[in-house]
Amino acid sequence: MDKHTVTLSEKERRKLVAIVTKGRSKASYIQRAYILLKSADGKTDAEISQWLYISESTVRRTRLRFGEAGMDAALEDKPAPERDPLLNEPQEAHLVALACSAPPDGRERWTLELLTERFIAEALGVSKGAVSQWFKKADREGVEALHKRKGGGPKPRLSAEQVNQLPVLLSRGAEYFGFRGDVWTRARVATIIQQTFGVTYSLTHVGWLLRKIGWSWQKPLTRASQRDEVAIERWRSETWLEVQKKPNERDEP
Protein backbone atom coordinates (compact mmCIF):
# COMPACT_ATOMS: atom_id res chain seq x y z
CA MET A 1 0.00 0.00 0.00
CA ASP A 2 1.26 3.47 -0.87
CA LYS A 3 2.00 5.27 2.39
CA HIS A 4 0.77 8.53 0.89
CA THR A 5 -2.59 7.23 -0.29
CA VAL A 6 -5.68 6.42 1.79
CA THR A 7 -7.87 3.77 0.21
CA LEU A 8 -10.81 2.54 2.31
CA SER A 9 -12.78 -0.65 2.02
CA GLU A 10 -16.56 -0.41 2.39
CA LYS A 11 -16.32 -1.82 5.90
CA GLU A 12 -13.68 0.72 6.91
CA ARG A 13 -15.65 3.60 5.46
CA ARG A 14 -18.84 2.55 7.31
CA LYS A 15 -16.89 2.39 10.58
CA LEU A 16 -15.41 5.86 10.06
CA VAL A 17 -18.78 7.36 9.10
CA ALA A 18 -20.30 5.87 12.26
CA ILE A 19 -17.53 7.43 14.37
CA VAL A 20 -18.04 10.95 13.03
CA THR A 21 -21.85 10.85 12.98
CA LYS A 22 -22.46 9.36 16.42
CA GLY A 23 -19.94 11.66 18.11
CA ARG A 24 -19.45 9.34 21.07
CA SER A 25 -15.70 8.96 20.69
CA LYS A 26 -13.07 11.39 21.97
CA ALA A 27 -12.34 14.43 19.87
CA SER A 28 -8.95 13.28 18.60
CA TYR A 29 -10.47 9.96 17.47
CA ILE A 30 -13.23 11.75 15.53
CA GLN A 31 -10.71 14.16 14.04
CA ARG A 32 -8.57 11.35 12.65
CA ALA A 33 -11.67 9.63 11.26
CA TYR A 34 -12.49 12.82 9.35
CA ILE A 35 -8.90 13.00 8.08
CA LEU A 36 -9.06 9.46 6.70
CA LEU A 37 -12.47 10.01 5.08
CA LYS A 38 -11.41 13.26 3.43
CA SER A 39 -8.10 11.75 2.31
CA ALA A 40 -9.92 8.81 0.75
CA ASP A 41 -12.14 11.30 -1.08
CA GLY A 42 -9.07 12.83 -2.70
CA LYS A 43 -8.75 15.99 -0.59
CA THR A 44 -5.26 17.44 -0.16
CA ASP A 45 -3.52 17.96 3.18
CA ALA A 46 -4.00 21.73 2.84
CA GLU A 47 -7.73 21.38 2.17
CA ILE A 48 -8.24 19.02 5.10
CA SER A 49 -6.22 21.21 7.48
CA GLN A 50 -8.29 24.26 6.59
CA TRP A 51 -11.55 22.36 6.91
CA LEU A 52 -10.66 20.90 10.33
CA TYR A 53 -8.60 23.90 11.57
CA ILE A 54 -5.53 21.76 12.20
CA SER A 55 -1.98 21.74 10.87
CA GLU A 56 -1.02 19.98 7.68
CA SER A 57 1.57 17.96 9.61
CA THR A 58 -1.25 16.43 11.72
CA VAL A 59 -3.06 15.39 8.54
CA ARG A 60 0.15 13.99 7.09
CA ARG A 61 1.01 11.95 10.20
CA THR A 62 -2.45 10.37 10.32
CA ARG A 63 -2.37 9.50 6.65
CA LEU A 64 1.13 8.02 6.84
CA ARG A 65 0.24 5.97 9.91
CA PHE A 66 -2.73 4.55 8.00
CA GLY A 67 -0.39 3.50 5.18
CA GLU A 68 2.11 1.95 7.57
CA ALA A 69 -0.10 0.20 10.13
CA GLY A 70 -3.72 0.36 9.00
CA MET A 71 -6.86 2.19 10.04
CA ASP A 72 -7.01 1.18 13.72
CA ALA A 73 -3.45 2.36 14.30
CA ALA A 74 -4.18 5.64 12.53
CA LEU A 75 -7.18 6.31 14.78
CA GLU A 76 -5.55 5.47 18.10
CA ASP A 77 -3.28 7.77 20.06
CA LYS A 78 0.24 6.54 19.65
CA PRO A 79 1.89 6.35 23.11
CA ALA A 80 4.66 8.88 23.38
CA PRO A 81 8.04 7.47 24.46
CA GLU A 82 9.61 8.85 27.60
CA ARG A 83 12.19 11.51 26.88
CA ASP A 84 14.46 13.91 28.68
CA PRO A 85 13.24 17.47 29.31
CA LEU A 86 13.65 19.71 26.27
CA LEU A 87 14.99 22.62 28.34
CA ASN A 88 17.36 22.78 31.27
CA GLU A 89 16.73 25.10 34.24
CA PRO A 90 18.62 28.15 32.86
CA GLN A 91 16.81 27.80 29.54
CA GLU A 92 13.46 27.55 31.30
CA ALA A 93 14.28 30.66 33.34
CA HIS A 94 15.22 32.56 30.19
CA LEU A 95 12.00 31.50 28.48
CA VAL A 96 9.91 32.65 31.46
CA ALA A 97 11.73 36.00 31.51
CA LEU A 98 11.12 36.40 27.79
CA ALA A 99 7.41 35.65 28.21
CA CYS A 100 7.18 38.29 30.97
CA SER A 101 8.93 40.96 28.89
CA ALA A 102 7.30 43.49 26.57
CA PRO A 103 5.89 41.84 23.42
CA PRO A 104 7.29 42.69 19.97
CA ASP A 105 6.23 45.93 18.32
CA GLY A 106 2.71 45.74 16.95
CA ARG A 107 1.74 42.86 19.26
CA GLU A 108 -0.44 43.12 22.36
CA ARG A 109 1.02 40.00 23.96
CA TRP A 110 3.34 37.08 23.37
CA THR A 111 1.92 34.03 21.62
CA LEU A 112 3.36 30.53 21.79
CA GLU A 113 4.53 30.83 18.19
CA LEU A 114 6.26 34.17 18.79
CA LEU A 115 7.97 32.88 21.95
CA THR A 116 9.17 29.75 20.16
CA GLU A 117 10.56 31.69 17.20
CA ARG A 118 12.36 34.25 19.41
CA PHE A 119 13.75 31.60 21.76
CA ILE A 120 15.14 29.45 18.93
CA ALA A 121 16.49 32.51 17.10
CA GLU A 122 18.41 33.67 20.19
CA ALA A 123 19.70 30.17 20.96
CA LEU A 124 21.01 29.55 17.42
CA GLY A 125 22.01 33.12 16.57
CA VAL A 126 19.73 33.39 13.54
CA SER A 127 16.92 35.73 12.58
CA LYS A 128 13.29 35.16 13.58
CA GLY A 129 12.47 35.11 9.86
CA ALA A 130 14.74 32.10 9.35
CA VAL A 131 13.04 30.22 12.20
CA SER A 132 9.63 31.07 10.74
CA GLN A 133 10.71 29.63 7.38
CA TRP A 134 11.87 26.43 9.10
CA PHE A 135 8.46 26.02 10.73
CA LYS A 136 6.72 26.50 7.41
CA LYS A 137 9.01 24.00 5.69
CA ALA A 138 8.49 21.40 8.44
CA ASP A 139 4.73 21.89 8.25
CA ARG A 140 4.77 21.62 4.46
CA GLU A 141 7.34 18.85 3.90
CA GLY A 142 7.75 17.17 7.28
CA VAL A 143 10.46 17.48 9.93
CA GLU A 144 12.77 15.25 7.87
CA ALA A 145 13.10 18.03 5.29
CA LEU A 146 14.95 20.17 7.85
CA HIS A 147 17.78 17.63 7.95
CA LYS A 148 18.51 18.12 4.26
CA ARG A 149 21.11 20.80 3.68
CA LYS A 150 22.58 22.20 0.51
CA GLY A 151 26.34 21.94 0.14
CA GLY A 152 28.62 24.94 0.37
CA GLY A 153 27.92 28.23 2.02
CA PRO A 154 29.48 29.68 5.19
CA LYS A 155 30.00 27.69 8.34
CA PRO A 156 27.02 27.99 10.69
CA ARG A 157 28.87 29.01 13.86
CA LEU A 158 32.25 29.89 15.34
CA SER A 159 34.51 27.26 16.83
CA ALA A 160 35.85 27.62 20.37
CA GLU A 161 39.23 28.63 18.96
CA GLN A 162 37.65 31.35 16.81
CA VAL A 163 35.68 32.70 19.78
CA ASN A 164 38.96 32.98 21.71
CA GLN A 165 40.40 35.03 18.83
CA LEU A 166 37.64 37.65 19.07
CA PRO A 167 39.11 39.63 22.02
CA VAL A 168 42.42 39.85 20.15
CA LEU A 169 40.72 41.23 17.06
CA LEU A 170 38.55 43.68 19.01
CA SER A 171 41.49 44.93 21.07
CA ARG A 172 42.96 46.45 17.88
CA GLY A 173 40.10 48.95 17.87
CA ALA A 174 37.36 49.65 15.35
CA GLU A 175 39.40 52.23 13.42
CA TYR A 176 42.01 49.54 12.66
CA PHE A 177 39.35 47.85 10.54
CA GLY A 178 38.33 51.04 8.76
CA PHE A 179 35.41 52.21 10.92
CA ARG A 180 34.94 55.87 11.84
CA GLY A 181 35.31 56.24 15.58
CA ASP A 182 37.16 53.75 17.77
CA VAL A 183 34.18 52.09 19.43
CA TRP A 184 32.60 48.71 18.84
CA THR A 185 28.91 48.16 18.11
CA ARG A 186 27.17 44.84 17.58
CA ALA A 187 26.79 45.64 13.88
CA ARG A 188 30.51 46.33 13.54
CA VAL A 189 31.45 43.15 15.40
CA ALA A 190 29.06 41.16 13.20
CA THR A 191 30.82 42.59 10.13
CA ILE A 192 34.26 41.61 11.45
CA ILE A 193 33.05 38.08 12.27
CA GLN A 194 31.62 37.68 8.78
CA GLN A 195 34.72 39.06 7.05
CA THR A 196 37.22 37.16 9.20
CA PHE A 197 35.52 33.82 9.75
CA GLY A 198 32.79 33.70 7.09
CA VAL A 199 30.07 33.29 9.73
CA THR A 200 26.92 35.44 9.75
CA TYR A 201 25.26 36.15 13.11
CA SER A 202 22.24 38.23 14.08
CA LEU A 203 22.82 41.32 16.23
CA THR A 204 21.08 39.57 19.14
CA HIS A 205 23.54 36.68 19.02
CA VAL A 206 26.51 39.01 18.62
CA GLY A 207 25.43 40.75 21.83
CA TRP A 208 25.25 37.38 23.59
CA LEU A 209 28.68 36.47 22.21
CA LEU A 210 30.22 39.72 23.46
CA ARG A 211 28.83 39.11 26.93
CA LYS A 212 30.24 35.60 26.83
CA ILE A 213 33.79 36.84 26.19
CA GLY A 214 33.37 39.69 28.69
CA TRP A 215 33.44 42.49 26.13
CA SER A 216 31.11 45.50 26.33
CA TRP A 217 29.87 47.19 23.17
CA GLN A 218 29.15 50.89 22.73
CA LYS A 219 27.21 53.09 20.37
CA PRO A 220 29.44 55.37 18.28
CA LEU A 221 29.35 59.09 19.07
CA THR A 222 27.82 60.77 16.05
CA ARG A 223 29.60 63.98 15.05
CA ALA A 224 29.58 66.12 11.95
CA SER A 225 32.18 65.01 9.40
CA GLN A 226 33.40 68.62 8.94
CA ARG A 227 33.94 69.11 12.72
CA ASP A 228 37.28 70.87 13.42
CA GLU A 229 38.31 69.84 16.93
CA VAL A 230 41.26 72.29 17.08
CA ALA A 231 39.09 75.27 16.08
CA ILE A 232 36.41 74.26 18.58
CA GLU A 233 38.89 74.09 21.44
CA ARG A 234 40.38 77.48 20.46
CA TRP A 235 36.87 79.02 20.49
CA ARG A 236 36.19 77.56 23.93
CA SER A 237 39.47 78.79 25.47
CA GLU A 238 39.69 82.21 23.80
CA THR A 239 36.57 83.56 22.11
CA TRP A 240 34.04 82.27 24.63
CA LEU A 241 36.05 83.70 27.54
CA GLU A 242 36.10 87.10 25.84
CA VAL A 243 32.34 86.92 25.30
CA GLN A 244 31.82 86.21 29.00
CA LYS A 245 33.92 89.23 30.01
CA LYS A 246 31.89 91.71 27.89
CA PRO A 247 28.89 93.35 29.60
CA ASN A 248 25.51 92.66 28.17
CA GLU A 249 24.59 95.81 26.30
CA ARG A 250 20.89 95.08 26.69
CA ASP A 251 21.24 95.30 30.49
CA GLU A 252 22.82 98.79 30.39
CA PRO A 253 20.56 101.68 31.59
pLDDT tens digits for range 227-241? 555 655 665 555 555
How many Å apart are CA 72 and CA 69, to the nearest integer? 8
Q: Under a CB-based contact definition with an 8 Å cutoff, are residues 35 and 59 in contact?
A: yes
Residue 236 carries which side chain, given as an amino acid letter? R
Q: What is the pLDDT of residue 242?
A: 57
Angle 243-247-249 (CA atoms, 0-180°, nearest 5)?
A: 110
Q: What is the pLDDT of residue 150?
A: 56
Q: What is the pLDDT of residue 253?
A: 45
Q: What is the pLDDT of residue 228?
A: 56
Average pLDDT, 10 consecutive residues per value, the chain (253 residues) = 72 89 82 89 88 86 86 76 68 79 84 80 71 73 65 63 86 82 84 87 86 69 50 56 51 46
pLDDT digits (tens, 9 = 90+) for 62-75: 888 888 888 888 88
pLDDT digits (tens, 9 = 90+) for 198-216: 888 888 888 888 888 887 6
Q: What is the pLDDT of residue 216?
A: 67
- The DSSP symbol for 81 reads P
CA 42 vs CA 28, 45, 51, 186: distances in Å: 21, 10, 14, 52
